Amino acid sequence: MTTKQFKAESKRLLDLMVNSIYTHKEIFLRELISNASDAIDKIYYKALTDDSLSFEKDNYFIKIDIDKDERTLKISDAGIGMTKEALEDNLGVIAKSGSFAFKKENEIKDGHDIIGQFGVGFYSAFMVADNVTVISKALGSDEAYKWESDGIEGYTIEPCEKDSVGTVIILKLKENTEDENFDEYLEEYRLKSIVKKYSDFVRYPIKMDITERKLKEGSEDEYEDYVEEQIVNSMVPIWKKNKRELTKEDYENFYAEKHYGFDKPIKYIHTSADGAVSYNAILFIPEKTPYDFYTKEYKKGLELYSNGVMIMETCEDLLPDYFNFVKGIVDSEDLSLNISREILQHDRQLKLIAKNIKTKIKNELNKLLKNDREKYEEFYKSFGRQLKYGIYSGYGSNKDDLQDLLMFYSSKEKKMVTLDEYTSRMPEEQKYIYYAAGDSIDRIEKSPQTELVLDKGYEILYFTDDVDEFAIRMLMNYKEKEFKSVSSGDLGIEAENENDSSATDEENKDLFGKMKDILGDKIKVVKASKRLKKHPVCLSNEGELSIEMEKILSAMPD
């Protein structure tokens, strides 16, 4: 038997690639712009080692031109360009990346700037175009060449005229079909928004001719259109700017621009790391709960960038559920991207980043609690519940991260207090951290169960959120002090009103028996109590579940 080699059917491969690896057609622009940016970077890198070359950053830009009549879109750059061979090699062979080779040859290890690596991005142009022409003149060459392809039938290369070094890519857009609109890629505002979305932080200016309407000179009501060349990207991302040069307003503007919320962030965190993994991040803690926070529509996550290019709009893995309210972006050079650059290949780096970010958020919240109590309480009003859910759903595994961030209403202080504040003023003989659960502070205050503990002068934490008691049960204890519900049968307190204790169970056997008959299954047993002073009767629980928890659980659908 002979073994035959597989032959790559490049036509089919191209088709497959173009139509299956990318989920959004619009990313073709991201890919072409990334290539243009890489091409300019390559001149920059060459100039570092070649004295005959100089790199004036101002001379380098990327230009997008629309021709509605011809239905063409043109992307030009003054980058390093391609020789005839480079055109053959890089555009004639799918999955061949000249940029990857360049990084290797030039030993650019921290080559965080150069984006290309897989050698497929270019072909994404065929998602929107049925003909692509590339005109290029390489640095140091006198000749220019034209590469042209209809995608399916291969390509042609021939000499052509081009004055300056660089590359022009011309896409002849596909005709609209019933389900698909390609005309949109001829609209200025649409292209501008795609650039903003994916390529806002490409380091070189991306220019477009933008049509604006303005009052005719000397006229009060007549308008005229005029065309102005504009730079449509912001180039330097705020997270790469020097913190010292940025103001609170800059961060707040960014928050608004990104539509993170209609409120102002209560806190922003600008952080970066260099080490096992390097990244820059800007994180925001919103002031108010987003309107859809408790709905299925709400998506947690941070925006993820790789080398300034947007990869994922909401990367869930970057945030633990209990910090799902945090907004912001992470930019890292260390991510292993998959071929479409839409998803991540290995998540080791991502996990590391996520871990760092979690710690950072935790520390910043602790700082806020210490330094700006009022703000922290505002935050806690909006998102405290999420922290408690976090403890509950993590079965207490994140105890160390979250317990110091918790606050409850205190019977003593008549305001929110932390567990640390509670335990640090506990009298020595007090065994437990007491809490009372109920619908409202008012109702808890009036409940007979609190009587003995309050009488003793002990502080009680009032739990008014359904999740409170569940979360506390997961914590089990705080600084080695166990939590104890005031409705518990054994409070660990010696009752002082011994005088009343004459009412023994034995003497009242008949009465208690009758009461039990009437109440039936609603209660387990009627007993004389030593804990009451002002109230004739109270409910208490014997087992693990408190009365309030039982109420909540029985109200839940099966």
> Binding site residues for ATP, as ranges?
31, 35, 77, 82, 90, 96-98, 117-122, 167, 341
Which of 91/232 has CB closer to ligand ADP?
Answer: 91
Which of 18/453 has CB closer to ligand ADP?
Answer: 18
Three-point CA angle 399, 401, 406, nearest 5°: 75
| Touching ligand ADP, residues 8-37 (CB under 6 A) | 31, 35-36
In the complex, what is the shortest distance from the CB of residue 123 to ligand ADP, in angstroms, rounded to a whole number? 6
Per CB under 6 A, the list member of 133, 167, 356, 487 interacting with ligand ADP is 167
3-state secondary structure 16-49: HHHHHCCCCCCHHHHHHHHHHHHHHHHHHHHHHH
Binding residues: 31, 35, 77, 82, 90, 96-98, 117-122, 167, 341
Which of 98/438 has CB closer to ligand ADP?
Answer: 98
Token pair, residue 265, equals 């962030």
Sheet of 416-418, strands arranged across: 416-418, 407-410, 460-463, 433-437, 481-485, 477-478
Which of 120/471 has CB closer to ligand ADP?
Answer: 120
- Is residue 24 within 8 Å of 194, Cβ to Cβ? no
Which of 122/201 has CB closer to ligand ADP?
Answer: 122
The rounded distance, in Å, linking the Cα atoms of 362 and 377 is 15
Please identify which residue in the block is written with the tokens 């290995």.
346
Per CB under 5 A, the list member of 116, 328, 384, 448 interacting with Mg ion is 116
Which of 39/467 has CB closer to ligand ADP?
Answer: 39
Which one of 28-36, 406-414, 461-469, 537-545 is the stretch in contact with Mg ion (CB under 5 A)?
28-36
Per CB under 6 A, the list member of 14, 39, 353, 532 interacting with ligand ADP is 39
Positive or negative, the Cα torsion across 160, 163, 164, 169? negative
Which one of 113-121, 230-238, 436-444, 485-493 is the stretch in contact with ligand ADP (CB under 6 A)?
113-121
Of 453, 463, 361, 458, nearest to 407 (Cα)?
463
Q: Is 449 in the site for Mg ion (CB under 5 A)?
A: no
Q: Is 540 in the site for Mg ion (CB under 5 A)?
A: no
Number of H helices, E strands in the chain: 16, 19
Please identify which residue in the block is written with the tokens 């166990």.
482
In the complex, what is the shortest distance from the CB of residue 81 to Mg ion, in angstroms, rounded to a whole number? 15
Residue nearest to ligand ADP (CB): 98
Sheet of 267-273, strands arranged across: 267-273, 279-285, 327-332, 302-306, 309-315
Q: Is 116 in the site for ligand ADP (CB under 6 A)?
A: yes
Residue nearest to Mg ion (CB): 121
| Touching Mg ion, residues 117-156 (CB under 5 A) | 121
Token pair, residue 9, equals 């059917």
Per CB under 5 A, the list member of 14, 17, 35, 444 interacting with Mg ion is 35
> In Å, how far are 233, 272, 323 from 362, measured between CA atoms?
33, 16, 9
| Touching ligand ADP, residues 65-104 (CB under 6 A) | 77, 79-82, 90-91, 97-100
| Touching ligand ADP, residues 118-137 (CB under 6 A) | 118-122
Question: Which of the choices Mg ion, ligand ADP, none does residue 79 contact, using the CB cut-off of 5 to 8 A by kind?
Answer: ligand ADP
Beta bridge partners of 133: 148, 170
The rounded distance, in Å, linking the Cα atoms of 383 and 467 is 13
The rounded distance, in Å, linking the Cα atoms of 270 and 238 is 10
| Binding positions for ligand ADP, rule: CB under 6 A | 31, 35-36, 39, 77, 79-82, 90-91, 97-100, 116-122, 167
| Binding positions for Mg ion, rule: CB under 5 A | 35, 116, 121
